[in-house]
Amino acid sequence: MAHLLTHLVFLFVIFHYSIATDTLNPNQSLQDGQILVSAKETFALGFFSPGRSKNRYVGIWYNKLRPAGQKTIVWVANRRSPVSGTNGSLELNGNGTLTINSIIFLPMPSVALTNPVAQLLDDGNFVIREANSNEFAWQSFDYPTDTHLPGMKIGWDLRTGLNRNLTSWRNDDDPSPGSYQASIDLKGIPQINIWSATQEKF
């Protein structure tokens, strides 16, 4: 009986820390230790600690393309607001707002949604949309960190005024914004420039 109970507890732990889906539904939480995996298993989303840090961040990484024990992080949600300890929880509210431990961490859809879902796509984009629509109300591609993925746009959205740029990590242990930024210069012919603080590098 004890042997059977041990196996049941083991299976419960495995199930609890696995989410075999790419979608987060309203008022469903993604706990630290659980991950979303895109449909073709290209990308995963979950909590991680970079380098030697014990802080926890929500990030996206290549699901299979990594050395054992390492993650190639391509996006960080809460790079300015890490979570201490492993009690983090990512949640999609009923109006389409994403929160980490009940705190909104990025600009969210300006219009409340009625039946939202958050989905991790196979191009590495994490999107919020109405369940019955393919139009994105919000997408992580609009808020890149230090990595440019195929399909991602860099530069100004002249319709909304959103400026998408790449910003380096502070260091290997800290994904908060670092010293270098890649952005589009709209003066003259639009081109990508690399900046350090206010100095143009190239």
Give the span between the Cα atoms of 176 and 64, in whole angstroms: 25
List of domains in the chain: 2-200 (2.90.10.10)
19 pLDDT band, cuts 50/70/90, is: low
Give the global pTM.
0.85
Question: Which tens digits make up the pLDDT trace of 100-131?
Answer: 999 999 999 988 899 999 999 999 999 999 99
